[in-house]
Chains A and B, each alone.
Chain A
Amino acid sequence: MKILVCIKQVPDMESRFKPNGSGVWFEETDLAFRMNEYDEYAVEQAVRLKEQLGDAHEVTVLSIGPDRVVEAIKKALAMGCDRGVHVQDPAASLKDPWQIAAIIAAYARDKGFDLIFTGMQSQDRGSAQVGVTVAEDLGLPCTTTLVGFAYDNGTITAKRELEGGVKGVVRVKTPALVTCQLGLNVPRYPTLPNIMKAKKKEIEAIPVGDLLREEARTATASFHPPAKKGGGIVLEGEVGALVDQLVGILKDKTAVLR
């Protein structure tokens, strides 16, 4: 079985964001980057599937972006993926979800993957489009938002998470694509021996120009902070003083403290 996992590298969400020179995305200097949280579940599930099926089965991890994304690929390799693909694109952040999906589909089209895993969305863009669009482009069945995954003899039994904690159980035959939701599994931490082993694994580099033929279907006009609704009080300072201030406010404004 051939498995593909698609991952994105995103900034730490606790960072401060400000527009870059283009005005349509964030300034990258001073940001720390990591693997998109949703994709960590995708990588973990792919590696678990390989462990279930045996070593003859291969997991490829793909990421699109500037050179820094190789770090995310290396982490996935250290978690147990077999080989990496880096689609080199310094301007990936200017591509829309349709173009990102088209790049992945162009790479995967003639490779005969039996199963493709993606995160359900990225933490920075959050469009939740790429996985499903790749599947449509490749003509693969697809289901999304997985919090449960089981594979047996060509059939996936997936649990989709719906609103209010209800789950929908879906069966689908491979080849297929699934998108992973938070909590699908507990992603492993790479161990030191596995990090060392990962250094020997191949990372193929492909210039994005070899894969992308599509024009963007949306344009970003601006990137900006939300308009502050205001109203809320912000308390800053030394802890003891903060406690006094908050207790005062709670006594004043709520019936909870007397």
Chain B
Amino acid sequence: MKALLIGEYREGKLLDTTYELCGFAAQLGGESAMLLVGSEGQLPDYGGTLYLADAAACGEYNPDLHKKLILETVARENPDYVVFVHSSYGWDLAPRVAAALKAAQVSEIVALADGGFEVGCCNAKMRRTVKPATSKAVLTIQAGAFPVTRPGGTPRVERLAAEGSGTLEFVGYEPAEAKGVDLTRAEVIVSAGRGVGKKENVPVIAALAKALGGELGASRPVVDAGWVDHSHQVGTTGQTVSPKLYVACGISGAIQHLAGMKKSDFIVAINKDKDAPIGEVADVLVVADVLQFAPALTARLAK
């Protein structure tokens, strides 16, 4: 069995998620090769064959050209699997490669399963076991699901020429909004999720944060709806935090939220749904209406 791993590189840097692909390949067993649109100056710690194209010449986001480079490499290596991270780079590119190869795609794999792959569904509440029905398959792996593995060694580099343009024009990056609150330093974070119901209820959660001597955090829908400022958002597209205590109020526990807080020392979740996936990471799950429970806890702490 052979896997072609598609490394990740952004804003001039090799991304660590590249090594999660190596962790996946190790579990898969068999051979691997890697393709990276990156730079000579930042070769991964990877002793296998590395197909390298220059990001300065190809563009970091140029899916048409990256697809072409991948297809060229697939023709040379004839892998069984082409593997991406399920990221803004991977989920954008993988279906293009699958379509060109007329290959099955299995998205956001969390584990290997008997003869197939385990993927999450229904907002992480359930799982499916999926099997490709084509001889080659394109896979994306969930960020954080496989161990960061640095195989070590120096790659045998095969340079790929960047020729051709694409249909998209990449204009540039816009930095993340300035962080008004640095949640990464907070010892306690109490976060409001969509379960708090409406903007008028956010002060109830803020009061609990204050009573615990912590900061207010938030899930994304609460930020998108304008109830709480973006600088409070926890998750893949917000801040990654690891406080001593994290209290999730009315937060379901989607993978993108968990990615930002699952390393917290102690996690309390308050949710009216006993099956909410936040229960997977919580040390304590309090099954209650947060609008009743949070004020009661605040009052008790004030005593």
Q: Which residue numbers of A lie inside 8 Å of B, CB to CB? A: 11, 13-14, 16-17, 24, 26, 96-98, 120-121, 123-129, 132-133, 136-137, 141-145, 157, 159-173, 176, 182-183, 186, 215-226, 228-229, 231-236, 239-240, 242-244, 246-247, 249-250, 253-257
Contacts and interface: CB of A to CB of B under 8 A. Distances in A.
B252 A13 contact: yes
B131 A218 contact: yes
Contact of B128 (A132, A133, A220, A255): A220
A162 B134 CA distance: 31
User: Secondary structure of the A side of the interface?
Assistant: mixed
A13 B19 CA distance: 32
B92 A145 contact: yes
Given A145-B92, A163-B236, A223-B127, 13 more contacts: A97-B95, A126-B108, A127-B105, A145-B91, A163-B87, A165-B233, A170-B171, A183-B223, A183-B224, A217-B98, A217-B104, A221-B128, A244-B300
A31 B143 CA distance: 30
Contacts of A218: 104-106, 130-133
Contacts of A226: 120, 124-127, 277, 280
Nearest to B278: A232
A182 to B, nearest CB: 6
A169 B130 contact: no
Interface string B90-112: 01101110111011111110000
Nearest to B10: A162
B82 to A, nearest CB: 14
A113 B160 CA distance: 36
Contacts of B277: 226
Contact of A243 (B11, B226, B293): B293
28 contacts: A13-B252, A97-B95, A123-B123, A126-B107, A129-B98, A132-B99, A137-B99, A161-B88, A161-B237, A162-B88, A164-B237, A168-B174, A169-B171, A176-B167, A217-B132, A217-B134, A218-B104, A223-B127, A223-B128, A236-B287, A243-B300, A254-B265, A255-B244, A256-B188, A256-B212, A256-B213, A256-B244, A257-B301
Nearest to A160: B88
Contacts of B64: 141
B290 to A, nearest CB: 11
Contacts of B100: 136
A151 to B, nearest CB: 15
A124 B108 CA distance: 13
Interface in B222-248: 223-226, 230, 233, 236-238, 244-245
B176 interface: yes
Contacts of B285: 232-235
B293 A239 contact: yes
Interface residues of B, number: 93
B163 interface: no
Interface stretch (B22-30, B71-79, B151-159, B266-274): B266-274
A136 B96 contact: yes
A169 B172 contact: yes
A250 B120 CA distance: 31
Nearest to A127: B107
B296 interface: yes
Contacts of B167: 141, 172-173, 176
Given A165-B230, A171-B171, A234-B287, A217 B280 contact: no
Contacts of A239: 288, 292-293, 296
A171 B171 CA distance: 7
Contacts of A253: 266, 283
A144 B230 contact: no
Interface string B158-171: 00000000011111
Contacts of A14: 252, 273
